[in-house]
Structures are given as structure tokens and as C-alpha cells.
Amino acid sequence: MGRYVARRLIQAIPLLLGISVISFAILKAVPGGPTAAYEGNPYFTDEDLRRLEAAFGLDQPIHVQYLNWFTHFIQGDWGYSYSGGQPVLQLIFERLPNTLYLTIAVYVTVLVVAIPVGVLTAVRQYSWFDHIVTGSTFAFLSTPTFWLGLLLIISFGLQLRWLPLGGIQTPGMDFDLVDRARHLILPVATLSLVQIGSYTRFLRASMLETINQDFMRTARAKGLLERVIVLRHALKNAAIPLVTVAALDLPGLFAGALVTEQIFGWPGMGRLFWDSATRSDYPVLMGILAITSTLIVLANLFADVLYGYLDPRIRYP
Amino acid sequence: MGISTPVSATPSREVARPGERGTWTLAYERFLQHRLAVASIFVLSALALVCALAAVVSPYDPEKTALLLIHEPPSIEHPMGTDALGRDLATRILYGGRVSLSVGVLAVAVAITLGTLIGGVAGFYGRWIDGVLMRFVDMMLSFPRLFVLILIAVLAKGMSVPAIILVLGALSWMETSRIVRGTFLSLKEREFVLAAHAVGVRDRDLIVRHILPNSLAPIIVSATLGVAGTIVAESTLSFLGLGIQPPVPSWGNMLEDATQDMAKAPWAAIFPGLAIFLAVVSINFIGDGLRDAFDPRHVIKRG
């Protein structure tokens, strides 16, 4: 196991290197850039342009720029924001907790709802409960995240006025748990409903597959309680593939969080990415892409390792 | 004797075919069992048809503003109300549907072409080519797709419709390539392919005539579900103001417009989303039905 993890970590290095090269290439290939804002400005001379490019290191050939960024990056110097001048690392770590806070709340909500619902639909296959749940999970899966967010804002924020329209807390207010929770409900609901749909469907299918296996018959033959059979024997095995799904969903969750943060004015990484993109703030963008893709690669590795831990039949090559 | 030749030729051709035709006939019969999928085909065709015939169906101009009719609630003249510039919402949804649906289909066409090419080459040639291409796929999958889309769109200061199609396609081919690679890997070891190879069939014919037709089913399923995903991606991009640019309506940019006055005119934020939902849910049902239809292990259930 240790050797397997070590090998996978080593394999992740060229993968992440490749990702950083492609990210850099995309940034450079797309027209525009940090100096584009000054184009056509009569007070901005070619002299100024060259000075600005030299200051950002944009006058050097692209591979030199990349190597320059990379050598600083691995030493923990992620550069400075073009627009604000703050260190990139500091900017990201100001925002990352807010996104993680949202993401973790979503994962918890999804699991708390999807596991019991998924189990129940499988145990009561083709019951009215199953039909309603299966139908609505399909509906949620087909709903664009941003539209769901709009609908929730319209109904619970604008019409009923039960919940705040956006933000992480009431501006100017000291930390208050109730206030924080009220601000959390709509963004979490927006992101969770879609996920709950896919997790419930997945768990239902996987439970149904497990329920028909031999060891389940053995458990019944031993005279175990149905509750024990379902929860301890079936669920434990059926939930294993869910680990992979949870890890593979991470990129989708980041993307969803980006849109959700945009709709709800949530001060997270998605917003930072958005603002930096509109300002062509290359160092910040590279930093965010590096962090998110590393998280995704690590999540996949974690899922594979955990999968093997949960299912002893799996042998590591 | 001259008569017997065509007679004997006909059955021999039929003997060669039943296996192939059987698969598709069987899939067709299985598909018909999936009632929601069949219903979805009708819903989607109807939606596509009214969108295509928007100019005939609707008496309004999608881009003509009417300052006296701003934010009219749904009525008989305007069944879905009007937007912030007094334009008929139902008409704009129809015209927007043309853009959104065709972008979805065309982007998937790009993705399927790329995915089939890359997956096919990887699966057919194997060895280091396979290794390199699949690491590339891993890499593409580790990018958050929407981040890259936004990045390109923002930095390029908006994209033209063909550019959106190409970029969406270029970011969505990975799943197809994995499926195609998998089927190619398993099919190229099968006897009929080995036999064709032994007879001296060229690689290109081997792929196009013998392997590709047998991997069509999973490609079709993935393409169908891909259209749904791409429609959502395009509408998300347009919603963020980065996709299809106004005044050309798309379901996404109509929703962006609607966010300005959601308290006064909630219908403007509801109907375009409903159109996306209707299209996506029917496509998903069709994809679901196709997957069940092509899966030989799948037992047809009643209900």
C-alpha cells in the first residue's frame, strides 16, 4: 500500500507539470493580457508599454516566462497580483477557507440526505416513494445549477423574504452563528440538490446490485435482523463506489461553486478567479489553477487508496 | 441455371447480416419499452421544431424593443410575458432555442470527432501511443472545465458562436475517447478483427468497417448525454455574460438579463430556465433509454 501511494504520488508530478504548462500556454495563447486595458489610450506610449511588459516579465520568450514562474512557484513564491500587488498565496488563502466552508457544507448535506434516501429507494424498489424520488432526482440532475440558484433566490429571498439574497454574512456584523447559517442555506441548497440527485441514483443502483448477492442470502439465512442486513452488510459494500464518485465530483463541485459564488456574492475562490480573469491577473490565475488541479489529482488518488482500504479484494499493482 | 445465381446470392447476403441487424432491431424494441424516453423524443422534436419555425410560429420580432410593454406579466398576447426591453419572452425563447440547441449539438459533434480519433488511435495502436494519449486525457480531466472556459472567454473578451462551439467541443471529448479506446482495445483482439487483419485488410478499412460500427452504441449514448451537458455549459457561460452575446438571444443570456429585475419580473428568470430544463431532461431521458436499449444485460422492466 505505501509503495502504491508513493508510486501514484510520483506519477502525479508529470501530470501536474503538464497541467501547469497547458494552463500557462492557454493564458499566453488567448489574445489580450494585462496590457490590453491600455490599448488606444493616447497617454500610454509605446515606451510605457515596454516598461510595463518588462516589469511583468512579459517581454521575455514564453518558455523563459514559464521557467521563471515555475522556479519561483516551487520555492513557495507564487508571485504578486498584477492589479492589487498582494502576494498571490495570501490572496488565495484569504479566499480558500470560504470555498472549503461552502464545499464541506455541501458534501455533508449531500451525504446526510442521499444515503438514507438511496438506501430506502433500493429497499422499497418500485414503491411510490421510489418512483417519486427517482423522478425528482432525474429532474434535479437536469437542472442547471445557476438556474436553481435563481429560483431559490426568487422564491425564498425575494418573494417569501425568509433568507438573505447573498453574501457570507450580514455586512458589518460581528461573527454570528445564526446569521452565518442563514446565509449558508441557499448556496448550499443550490449546490446540494443536483449532487443529491446523482448520489441517490448511484447508491440506489449499487444497493440493488449488492442486495442480490450471495452473502446477503447468507446473512438472511443466519436470521439477522433486516435492519442489520441492510445497514451493516449491504450499505457497507454498496457505499464503496460512492467514494470514487465523491472524489470525481470535485471538479464539478468547484465549477458549480464558481457559478454559485457568482450568483450569491460569496467571497470564495470562484469569485477571486472571476475577478482575476476579468483583470488578466496572470499570477493569481496560475495560482488558482495550480491549487484546484492539485486538489483534484489528490482527491482522485485519495479515492483510489480509500477504495482499496474499504474493499480488501482490491490488490495494488 | 442463370436464374439460380441471384436467388442463391440473396440468402447468402442475409446470412451475413442478421447478427448486425438484430442488435439494432433489438435495441429499437428495447428503447420503445422505455416510455419516458420515447415521450422525450416527441417533446424534444416538438421543441426543436417550434424553435426552427420560430418566425412562423411567433408574430413578434425577437430583437424589437417596445418601451411601453416593459415587464408585462404573462398574458394572452404575451404568454410568457415581456422582458426589461418589452420584447416578447416566448419569441425570444424560441429564437434562443435555435442557438442553444444547435450549439449543444455541434459542440458534441466536435467532441465526438476528437474523442473517437484520439481514443481510436490510442486503442488501436496501443503501446506508448496509448500511454501518452491517455496521460493527456488524465490531464484534461484534471482541469476544472468551467474554469478554463471562463478563462478563455474572459481573456478573449467574448467569443463568436463558432469559437464557442470549438472550445466547448475541445473541452468535452475525454469521456468519449476513453469509451472508444476501451472498445477498440477489446475489439481488436476479437476473432473477426484478427481474421480481417489476417486476410490483409488495411488498418483504415479495419477501423472504419469492422471496429467502429461495433463501438457505435456507447458512442451514441455518450454523445446524447453530452448534448445535455453542453447545453448546460453553454447556458452557464452565456449566463455569466461570456457566451452568446446579446442582442442575439440564447437561453443563458436571457437569464442573465432577467437577474437585473428578478423582484419585479420573476417570469423572465423562470421561463428560459424552464426551456433549458425541458431540453436537458428530455435529452437525459433519451440517453438513459438508449443506454438501457444497447445494454444486453439490461432486463426490461415494466413500469
On chain B, the residues whose CB falls within 8 A of the CB of A277 are: 150-151, 154-155
B148: left (phi over 0), alpha (psi -120 to 50) or beta: alpha
Query: To which residue does cell 446565509 refer?
Result: A183
CA–CA gap between residue A106 and residue A50 (Å, rounded)? 47
Task: Please tell me what DSSP assigns to residue B247.
Answer: T
> What is the mean pLDDT of the segment spanning B247-256?
88
pLDDT tens-digit readout, B172-190: 999 899 888 988 888 888 8
Q: Is B285 on the interface with A (CB under 8 A)?
A: yes
Beta strands in B36-161 (DSSP E): none
| pLDDT given at position A148 | 92
% of chain B beyond a pLDDT of 70 = 90
- Is the pLDDT at B279 greater than 90? The verdict is yes
| pLDDT given at position B159 | 80
Mean pLDDT of each 10-residue bin along chain A, 317 residues long: 81 86 82 66 76 76 83 82 83 88 90 90 86 87 90 86 79 78 89 88 86 81 81 80 77 79 87 85 87 84 78 68
> What is the mean pLDDT of the segment spanning B228-256?
88
| pLDDT given at position B7 | 42
pLDDT tens-digit readout, B140-171: 888 777 888 888 888 777 788 898 999 999 99
Which cell numbers hold the place of A96?
Answer: 480558500
Closest CA to B169 of B215, B232, B107: B107
- Is the pLDDT at B18 greater than 70? The verdict is no
- Is the pLDDT at B20 greater than 60? The verdict is no
Q: What number of other Cβ atoms are within 10 A of residue B122's Cβ?
A: 25
ipTM over 0.85? The verdict is no
| pLDDT given at position B52 | 86
Task: Please tell me what DSSP assigns to residue A313.
Answer: T
Suggest the residue from A11, A150, A274 to mutate for an interface test with chain B (most B CBs closer than 10 A).
A150
| pLDDT given at position B165 | 93
Lowest-confidence pick of A60-74, A126-140, B66-80, B214-228: B66-80
Query: Is the C-alpha dihedral spanning B211, B214, B219, B224 positive or negative?
Result: positive
Chain A: residue nearest B284 by CA?
A142
> What is the mean pLDDT of the segment spanning B14-41?
73
Smallest CA–CA distance, residue A72 to chain B, in Å, is 22
pLDDT tens-digit readout, B88-97: 888 888 898 9
Q: What number of other Cβ atoms are within 10 A of residue B288's Cβ?
A: 18
Cβ atoms B178, B184 nearer than 8 A: no
Q: What number of other Cβ atoms are within 10 A of residue B154's Cβ?
A: 22
DSSP, collapsed to helix, strand or coil, labels residue A246 as: helix
SS3 content of chain B, % helix, strand, coil (to 5): 75, 0, 25
Please state, rounded to an integer, the average pLDDT across all residues of chain B.
82
DSSP, collapsed to helix, strand or coil, labels residue A87 as: strand
| pLDDT given at position A135 | 86
On chain B, the residues whose CB falls within 8 A of the CB of A273 are: 147, 150
- Is the pLDDT at B41 greater than 70? The verdict is yes
Chain A: residue nearest B235 by CA?
A144
On chain B, the residues whose CB falls within 8 A of the CB of A34 are: none
| pLDDT given at position A113 | 92
Cβ atoms A264, A149 nearer than 8 A: yes
| pLDDT given at position B283 | 93
CB nearest B150 (choices: A14, A146, A277): A277
Suggest the residue from A24, A142, A259 to mutate for an interface test with chain B (most B CBs closer than 10 A).
A142
Which cell numbers hold the place of A308?
Answer: 482499496
Smallest CA–CA distance, residue A89 to chain B, in Å, is 19
On chain B, the residues whose CB falls within 8 A of the CB of A19 are: 139, 142-143
Which residues of A, range 121-140, sit inside 8 Å of B by Cβ?
126, 138-139
- Is the pLDDT at B110 greater than 90? The verdict is yes
Q: How confident is the model at residue B6 (pLDDT cuts 50, 70, 90)?
A: very low
CA–CA gap between residue A234 and residue B67 (Å, rounded)? 63
Top pLDDT among B263 and B107 is at: B107
Q: Do B255 and A297 touch (CB under 8 A)?
A: no
| pLDDT given at position A147 | 92
| pLDDT given at position B117 | 92
Which residues of A, range 11-30, sit inside 8 Å of B by Cβ?
14-15, 18-19, 22-23, 26-27, 30
On chain A, the residues whose CB falls within 8 A of the CB of B136 are: 18
On chain B, the residues whose CB falls within 8 A of the CB of A296 are: 142, 144
pLDDT tens-digit readout, B42-60: 999 999 998 888 778 777 7
Angle at A141 between CA B254 and CA A127, to 5 degrees: 135
